Amino acid sequence: MVYSHDHLPRHVHLRRGDQRIKMAFDRHSLNFDTMEIYGVGTFAEIKGLFRYLEANIVTLNAEWEKIHGTNDTI
């Protein structure tokens, strides 16, 4: 499950079972930085979650903008 929140920094939570990663991302470049990691036991699991985020970052950004607009001031 991936969902965005209404507070800055613009970020997402990736969740798969007990695994959770919180990532901040930039609307213009769509680059992202890890904020928090929980319940992930191996690098391969982290890599899988990163791949999922990379595959969905454009859609995720579009969803954010549908809700909050293109202005990052909340």
74 is a domain residue: no
25 is a domain residue: yes
Per the structure, the complete domain to which residue 57 belongs is given by: 2-68
pLDDT for res 31: 66
12 is a domain residue: yes
39 is a domain residue: yes
Per-block mean pLDDT, blocks of 10 residues, the chain (74 long): 57 72 66 69 75 79 74 53
pTM score of the predicted model: 0.46
Decide: residue 52, CB within 10 A, 0-12 exposed, 13-18 middle, 19+ buried.
middle
Q: Scanning the structure block, which residue is given the tokens 């985020």?
A: 53
pLDDT for res 71: 63
6 is a domain residue: yes
Domain count, the chain: 1
37 is a domain residue: yes
44 is a domain residue: yes
